Amino acid sequence: MNHKSCGDRAGEGFRPSFTLLAEDEATSARRGKLSLFHGEVNTPAFMPVGTYGTVKAMTPEEVEGLGAEIILGNTYHLYLRPGHELIRDMGGLHEFMNWRRPILTDSGGYQVFSLNELRKITEEGVTFQSHLDGSRHMLTPERVVEIEEALGSDVMMVLDECPPHPSSREYLERSLALTNRWALRSLDARRRPELALFAILQGGMDPELRARAASELCGQPFDGFAIGGLSVGEGQELMLKTLEATTPHMPRSRPRYLMGVGTPSDIVEAVARGVDMFDCVLPTRNARNGMFFTSKGKIAIKLARFERDELPPDEGCGCYTCRNYSRAYIRHLFRTREILASRLITGHNLYYYQSLMKRIRAALEAGTFPAFLNDFRAGQEVLQ
């Protein structure tokens, strides 16, 4: 399944699918394979974030070489710049950015709703002012699907409302009802069934509303389901409790995607609760701020103690950065604001995240995930 581009209609006979390969009896962890228009994705999977059609500081070839099988783009940002029509005319997002594997696009709902006073929500959709030039735009569920189909997204996310935390029960109920109506409109607007369409389950931190979201949407013919509205300041304990109240109501036969999460600990704990897919800006954003994710915790490379440190950032790591460069040299690059610092740290962090996912998948295949989980938790306790 290595099609040239989603910009053409060569894959009209293809349909997305998800296959469960293993399930852990002691937890809710799952090992699966997601078949998409541009290839297969092994789950649990972490998707590097490429908001504008690029994973910051990396070439697409480098991202693939680090082990990523799918990346994330953002509909809102690509709609504003350079525009979905231009990308469509260039052969679709895959051709435009020279990425041959699957792409998931977030609907942009979170970005629109974070504009606060610059947007207005109605039954029809969201009217907003561009954060770039103040120009006015409207996104409806139908418009979002149209844009994502023009991009050629392997996984299209529906438009949803992401309520802030905390929110009143009354607000959460109204928001949830609107999100669910929008999801059904998105289904009706779909014209390219070879591209997967995922619904988003909202409901804040209310277990009853999360169950309601699942009951109303999970019987519909979506190709997968996302858990939205988490990692918005609620803390890990409440996030995990909300997951525990949500995933049991989600179909076993379709992929589960936790949006915008998270730290290595967040990911491992969410896998144990039945989640299959993740994305987060942390490995790339923190890299640009000089932070390494390592097997022994986070390292802020700017600290003075690394000035003469000849060790690699993460001893035992097999990535390009750790095989070739010392902490002292990378600290020098970071302090002098050399672009190479961002490239080296980003490359390591993405390698670390993909290696973590490989270890999780291997443990699930071997039937040793509970032992892996215990060892991971023990290591986290030592780091704290």
Catalytic residue status for 279: yes
Judge contact between 166 and 114, C-beta under 8 A.
no
Please identify which of the residues 154, 206, 266, 279 carries the catalytic annotation.
Answer: 279
Q: How far is CA 5 from CA 36, 60, 102, 267, 272, in A?
A: 13, 15, 10, 31, 35
3: confidence class by pLDDT, cuts 50, 70, 90: very low
Banded model confidence at residue 5, pLDDT cuts 50, 70, 90: very low
3-state class percentages of the chain: helix first, strand second, coil last, to nearest 5:
45, 20, 40
Of 25-29, 325-329, 378-382, which gets the smallest average pLDDT?
378-382
Summarize the confidence of residues 107-118 as an average pLDDT: 78
Residue in 24, 106, 160, 223 annotated catalytic: 106
- What value does the mean pLDDT of the chain take? 94
pLDDT digits (tens, 9 = 90+) for 271-285: 999 999 999 999 999
**Can you tell me the distance from the alpha carbon of 61 to that of 58, in angstroms, rounded to the nearest whole number?**
8
Domain boundaries, given as residue ranges, for the chain: 17-279, 281-376
> What phi, psi does 236 have (nearest 5°)?
-65, -40
Residues in the chain: 384
Is residue 89 among the annotated active site residues?
no
pTM comes to: 0.95
Other beta carbons less than 10 A from residue 336's beta carbon? 9
Domain 17-279 classification at class level: alpha beta
CA quadruple 366, 368, 372, 373: dihedral positive or negative? positive
